[in-house]
Amino acid sequence: MFAHQTILHRLRHGCQTMAYPDALAPALPDRHGGALRVDGSKCLADCSACVPVCPTQAIARANGQPVALDLGRCIFCAACVEVCPPHAITQTGDHRMAARQRADLMLGKSGGEEVRLAAALEEKLRRLFGRSLRLRQVSAGGCNACEADTNVLGTIGWDLSRFGIQFVASPRHADGLLITGPVSRNMELALRKTYEAVPPPKLVIAVGACAIAGGPFVGHAQVREGAASVVPVDVFIPGCPPHPLTILDGLLRVLGRLEPP
Question: What gap in Å lies between CA 240 and CA 244, rounded to an integer?
Answer: 11
Question: What gap in Å lies between CA 50 and CA 60, rounded to an integer?
Answer: 9
Q: From the centroid of its chain, how far is CA 122?
A: 20
For the whole model, what pTM was predicted?
0.92
Average of per-residue pLDDT across 25-33: 87
Confidence of residue 164 (pLDDT cuts 50, 70, 90): very high
Q: Considering the chain, what is the average pLDDT of its residues? A: 91
Average of per-residue pLDDT across 138-160: 93
Q: What is the pLDDT of residue 10?
A: 66
Question: What gap in Å lies between CA 204 and CA 235, rounded to an integer?
Answer: 7
What domains are defined for the chain?
123-254 (3.40.50.12280)
Q: What is the pLDDT of residue 47?
A: 87
- % of the chain with per-residue pLDDT over 90: 67
Query: Are 195 and 172 spatial neighbours (Cβ–Cβ below 8 Å)?
Result: no
